[in-house]
Structure 1
Amino acid sequence: MLLPFKNHLQAQFPKVAESKILVAVSGGVDSVVLAHLCKEARLNFSIAHCNFNLREEESDQDEIFVLELADALDVQVFIEGFETEAYAAEKKMSIQMAARELRYNWFTELCETLQFDYIFTAHHANDNLETVLINFIRGTGLEGLTGMPDVNNCILRPLLPFTRNEIENYAKNEKFEWREDSSNQSAKYFRNKVRLEVIPRLLELNPQLLDSFGKTRSYLQQSSQLIEDYISALFPQIAKEEEFGYSFRIKLLKTLPHLKAVLYELFKSFGFTEWEDVHGLLDAQPGKMVFSRTHRLIRDRDSLLLTTIPVDDQKIFEIKEDEEVVMLPMGTFHFEKVEDVSTDLRKTIHVDSEQLQFPLIVRKWQKGDYFYPFGMQGKKKLSKFFKDEKLSLPQKENCWILCSGEKIVWVIGHRLDGRFAVNDESKKILRISYTP
């Protein structure tokens, strides 16, 4: 198995030979074999072990075993204990999901702190088949049927081409020791049911199941890559980048063939799952929204708007007199004393500086705010101004205002307040420009 492993690394992961690697080792046969193979391949690696404290003394014995394995292989080892059940209860998730989140968060922290280039995990062909079957049973798209990726950011899975039997036979022939996890035989976990009850039946029907699965997975990966390339080419043609995210012209979307599939591929990476609702937005009333955990799609007048879910931002920022450049979270302000007025643009205004009261205030607009739009008669509520300007919901939410005392000087990026405009009697002119 060593030679196929080395050949696989050279073909698929050529950079690992010169990299610093963190190998996740539970103590089971798969991860033990992976650690030995890395040693035989002369890779620069360390071992990381998670003690999830789920099996009492057995968990502690696993930790001791991994410490001894690291000593035998003469490599550095990192051990971390977790209160997994308490974490799962706090986060309202399953034990398995909690363990996964804790594990990868810690691995990522180690990589960032100690500058590891890659994380190796010991997932193999049987694990991949289990994952695909679980996805299929629960319902999935093409991506779910391709199984675990060989590469996921810095996580590499170099044992995916190998079966559990190949790994165990290699361990026995090399007389390796490993730990057996008693929870792997418990049918209370869904994955274990698939492993212990479903896959053996499938193997009875087709003893070459894993070979067939490997070929099918390869075909599906190629199809998935083809779709990804198509969406990558399509996206810049149909998506317009906005300050708040992206907008998609509905009329243009409706011209695309296989529209439901395109919507799925466009928006799946933003966490959306209610695909009928997403498709329904195309014919919904303006203002209708569909949410994922992190993003939302909004039906505007003639577009779909994609934004992150906004956080209620009540922060107030002060700008002192005589400051020339002020960098704030929403953008950068430049203040310059000038002799005359050039044309005002949306991102630049000229004001009579003698009318200003410092410090100036930058804040989000609020319900009830009003100003005196330059070039218009009388005052107008901002909500009415936004409606007249046909601003979208994200544009309204991301609108900041510059204030002098209680008065609005500038609806930033939109309109100057006429009370501060330069006139024939103005003696001191201040140019204010803004870069988002």
Structure 2
Amino acid sequence: MLKQFLNHLSNFQISESGKTLLAVSGGMDSMTMLHLYTAASLPIGVAHCNFKLRGHEADADAMLVKTTCEQLNIPFHIREFDTQNYAWENGLSIQMAARELRYAWFDQLMDDFHYHQVATAHHLNDTIETVIMNWIHGGSLESFAGIPVKQNRIVRPMLFATRAEIESYSEAHKIVWREDQSNLSDDYTRNFLRHQVLPKLKEVNPSLEQTIRRGLHKIAGETELLSMGLSQWQSRYLVRKEERVVIDKHGFEQLHHPDAILWKCIRPLGFNLDMCTEIMQAMKGQSGKIFFTGSHQLVIDRDALIVTPRPLNWEPVEVAAGQSKVTIGKLSMEVSVPGSASTTKTPHEVTMDASEVTFPMTWRKWKAGDFFYPLGMEHRKKISDFLIDMKVSRADKDNVTVLECDGKIAWVVGYRLDNRFKVKAETSEVISFSVHPHFS
């Protein structure tokens, strides 16, 4: 098994020279992993989490791991967590709370003690159980490839081995380990699959693990190829700029399952497959419809789907006389003293006739019914119509602001100055305003 272990590290380019932090619970799988790393004389340290969920049993686990590390002269790190309280405060299940706590601590240990990677003892049966669970819950193709061998700084050096092979190795080498009693119960879905479903499947195919191992390898290769194809599609039809995603509608025309492709693109922003199916249906109708997740919105525009963070409910801010800088949402406005500028250069910078400006001014989001006199025009125009003429997308309209002076719109910020505030031949003093992103 040691030879298989080393081959697995080599095949998946898991570092053998950099120091590895082993996540060791005291169970059979992780104690076997510790034995293999020690037998291979690889540089390691051990981290043990006590989630304070199993009373004296958990304390006994910690003592076993600590004693073993002392005997082997291996650096040992231990931390106790108030897992139940963390889960309650953050609205998480116990399992998710424990996962967040341990991986955050592992990251800290890797940074503080210069570990190259953290190794967990997931094995082939774990990935088989994960695949079946993903299938039950309707996962995507890549979820059927199983647990990845490498994922950022996490490596899984035991994925080559079955539970039976690990058990056989641990017996042969008289490895001392402790049983987690939760592994013997059917309280959780994974344990139900482990103890009830998989044994029945093995009656049909006694070589189930090896058969699935080969299948997972095929799926991983196919997924990699499909990912390359998706990347090519995205490079042609999808543009990301800062927090904005724009997808050309034409990219969906020849697809038989456009909702699935859309889901692949915007899933990280909180959109699920059902929403994407609804978006594809709505795309056949009039533009302007909006779909929301907790953090983002998708607007069906004329030629594209535009995804942006949900607009904030910005409160109006006052621009007082002598004030040089104000912020609203993610924008900052700088105000120069009269006479320090003379021309208007860009839509994001305007110069006004100071004699027309009365303080305090108000900087706010535009609203229905607002109107102004666009620069160069003698007639007023509703801002809603102006934005349509400017072909401003629905997504961008939600973030348009105006600078108001004594009840008059002096500037549609970032778009057009009001004609009544322009610098004229007889203007003697000017005042300038410029707007740019604000990073807090």
TM-score strictly above 0.5: yes
Q: TM-score, normalised by structure 2?
A: 0.85
Partner of 1:188, secondary structure, is coil
Q: Structure 1: how far apart are the matches of 2:172 and 2:233?
A: 52
**Secondary structure, in 3 states, of the residue corresponding to 1:162?**
coil
Deviation at 1:222, TM superposition (A): 1.1
Tell me which residue corresponds to 2:69.
70
**CA 1:60/1:380 → structure 2, altered by over 3 Å: closer, same or farther?**
farther
Contact preservation (8 Å) 2:326, 2:332: no
Provide the secondary structure at the position in 1 that maps to 2:283.
Answer: helix
Alignment equivalent of 1:341, drawn from 340, 343, 346 = 343
Match of 1:88 in 2: 87
Conservation of the 8 A alpha-carbon contact between 1:117 and 1:154? yes
For residues 231-250 of structure 1, the aligned pairs below 5 Å read 231-241=230-240, 245-250=244-249
Aligned position for 1:51 = 50
Asked whether 1:398 is paired with 2:399, we answer yes
Q: Extract unaligned runs of 5+ from structure 1.
A: none
| Structure 1 residue 209 displacement after superposition | 1.0
In the superposition, the TM-score normalised over structure 1's length comes to 0.86
| 3-state secondary structure, aligned to 1:78 | strand
Decide whether the 8 Å contact of 1:47 with 1:78 is kept in 2: yes
8 Å CA contact retained: 2:149, 2:157: yes
Query: 1:180 deviation in Å?
Result: 0.5
The whole-number CA distance in structure 2 between the counterparts of 1:356 and 1:81 is 63
1:220-248 CA distance string (max 9 Å, x none): 11111111101111112112345651222
Tell me if the contact between 1:347 and 1:433 (Cα under 8 Å) persists in the aligned partners: yes
> Number of matched residues?
434
Q: Deviations over 1:52-86 (max 9, x none)?
A: 22222212221222222332232333323233334
Paired with 1:177 and 1:29, the residues of 2 have a C-alpha distance of: 8
Q: 1:361, 1:44 → 2: CA distance?
A: 63
**Cα RMSD between the aligned structures?**
3.4
In structure 2, what is the equivalent of residue 175 of structure 1?
Answer: 174
Using the aligned pairs only, state the percent identity. 36
Q: Secondary structure at the match of 1:283?
A: coil
8 Å Cα contact 1:325/1:335 also seen in 2: no
In structure 1, the partner of 2:228 is: 229
Contact 2:312 2:329 in 1 (8 A): no
CA displacement at 1:393 relative to structure 2: 3.0
Give the structure 2 partner of residue 187 of structure 1.
186
- Contact 1:326 1:334 (8 Å CA) reproduced: no
Structure 2: unaligned runs, 5 residues or longer: none
Superposed displacement of residue 204, structure 1: 1.5
* SS of match in other structure, 1:107: helix
Whether contact under 8 Å (1:248, 1:305) holds in the other structure is yes
Counterpart AA for 1:223: E
Contact conserved, 2:259 with 2:280, CA < 8 A, in 1? yes
Q: Which residue of 2 aligns with 1:414?
A: 415
The aligned counterpart of 1:271 is 270
After TM superposition, the structure 1 = structure 2 runs for residues 29-428 of structure 1, keeping only pairs within 5 Å, are: 29-241=28-240, 245-256=244-255, 258-273=257-272, 274=274, 275-314=276-315, 316=317, 329-330=330-331, 341=343, 344-353=345-354, 355=356, 364-365=365-366, 371-377=372-378, 382-383=383-384, 385-402=386-403, 408-428=409-429
Query: Which range is displaced more, 227-236 or 110-119?
Result: 110-119
